Amino acid sequence: MKLFWGRAGAVARKEVFHILRDPFALAAALGLPVLMVIIFGISIEFNMKDIPLAVNDADQTRSSRMLLDRFASSGYFGIRRVVSPHQAVAELTDQKARAALVIPPDFESDLISGRQGQLQLLIDGSDNSTVGPVSNYVNRIVGAGAPALYDLRTRYLFNPELDSRWFVIPGLTVVIMAILSILLTALTIAREWENGSMELLLSTPVRPVELIVGKLAPYGVLGIIAIAFVYVIARAVFQIPFVGNLAVFGLGSLLFLITYLAQGLLISVVARNQQVAMQLAMVTGMLPSNLISGFIFPIESMPTFFQYLTMLLPARWFMRIARDTFLQGSGLIELKVPFLALTFLCFAMIFLATRKFKRDLEP
């Protein structure tokens, strides 16, 4: 056992030298997550405002102007006047407007004579995410003043003001760290094969598992430091609350990092060639952790089969841990499923990498 740590430690030391000698990698590992969190923390906002709305007012009366004033003062819409319904559609096609409102010529006379005033609303369906909000906002503006028969009060737990940042930043940390961890280790073993230095390592009595652990450790430390940086930014710059237990979050981070670093190593062992390793890292890291980890698109909305499939994704579990510890204050007991799953995936990755590596060494 002592020998194990001795040799794994030697491999780790060598890897530390590699990292320190390549300031680019070091800067990338520590700087990129912080940079990205700051950029996206500033820029992301789900609540729509100033949606470009093409308006064709064929009525040109007091009523139609009053209605448009209500649209303009709501803050949801930015009004672009067009001269014909035809032009309104053209605005949609050219993506100059997200929706178009057509007020027919007899709008006011209908209202005065007690008939319903007719409005036509055209919504651009090419971006699904805007259709719901747009039609909600329009109905709210047009229907304002209807009698209230009941009172529905909504309480938004864990994010009372529906602040997009509270939702995005913990998730973004997960996604960034997932990709970065894979990338950091995906090339390490492939590089040794390509440079021929692997033969040197193999001529020593170092065992596969020692090599794997030795290669993981330094990057694990690097990853934890990066997460700590991001945590500080999230708390200090973006004022995101952290109501959970920091130790639980830290433990989750560590497990998660090791799992992804091990996945990177597995890729590295399988690929043996840096170009293939990099493509595999991008394919298995970039898109899945962005798209099916529950970052933006809810997992519950997926078809059942895919819900199970996402269970293989460490990011899915850490997404839960990160958000729950930040906003909800869950403890280890409530998070036992994600923690168990993450631990299982972590050991599975290390096991697979070690076994595949052993196979390669046998003649």
Partner 1 sequence: MNRTLLGFIRKELTQTLRDKRMRVLLFVVPVIQLTLFGVALSNEVKNIRLVSVFPPGDAVMQKIHDRSIASGWFLPVSTQKVFSDPFELIRSGTADAVLVAPPGGLTRALGRGDAKLQLLLNAMNVIEAQAMESYVSAIVQRTILEDLRLDPPEPSIQVNSRVLFNPGLETAIFMVPATLAMVMIITTMVMTNNAIVREKEMGTFEMLISAPVSPAEVIYGKTIPYVILGMSNFPLILGVAVFVFGVPMRGSLLVLVLAAFAFVCTAVALGTLISTFCKNQQQATLAAFLFLFPMIMFGGLFFPIENMPVSIRWVAYLDPLYHYIGLLRNIMLKGGGHAYVGTHILALGLMALVSVVWSFRRFRTTL
Site residues (CB under 8 A) for partner 1, limited to 312-351: 323-324, 327-328, 330, 334
- Which tokens is 254 given? 């560590």
CB nearer partner 1, residue 7 or residue 330? 330
| 80 lies in the site for partner 1, by CB under 8 A | no
Using the rule CB under 8 A, give the single segment among 5-13, 43-51, 207-215, 254-262 that binds partner 1.
Answer: 43-51
CB nearer partner 1, residue 48 or residue 201? 48
Alpha-carbon distance of 189 to 157, in angstroms, equals 46
| 131 lies in the site for partner 1, by CB under 8 A | yes
| 234 lies in the site for partner 1, by CB under 8 A | no
| 178 lies in the site for partner 1, by CB under 8 A | no
CB nearer partner 1, residue 50 or residue 69? 50
C-alpha distances (whole Å) from 1 to each of 92, 184, 215, 219 are: 69, 28, 18, 22
Q: Which residue has the tokens 């093409």?
A: 54
Alpha-carbon distance of 182 to 189, in angstroms, equals 12
**At closest approach, how far in Å is the CB of 179 from partner 1?**
6
Contact predicate 260/177, CB 8 Å = yes
Q: Which residue has the tokens 């579990």?
A: 317
Count CB atoms within 10 A of the CB of residue 325: 27
| 205 lies in the site for partner 1, by CB under 8 A | no
Binding-site size, partner 1 (CB under 8 A) = 111
DSSP assigned state of 52: E
| 180 lies in the site for partner 1, by CB under 8 A | yes
| 362 lies in the site for partner 1, by CB under 8 A | no
| 90 lies in the site for partner 1, by CB under 8 A | yes
| 54 lies in the site for partner 1, by CB under 8 A | no
| 186 lies in the site for partner 1, by CB under 8 A | yes
CB nearer partner 1, residue 68 or residue 209? 68
**At closest approach, how far in Å is the CB of 322 from partner 1?**
10
| 162 lies in the site for partner 1, by CB under 8 A | yes
Q: Per-residue DSSP letters for 247-309? A: HHHHHHHHHHHHHHHHHHHHHHHHH-SHHHHHHHHIIIIIHHHHHSSSSSS-GGGS-HHHHHH
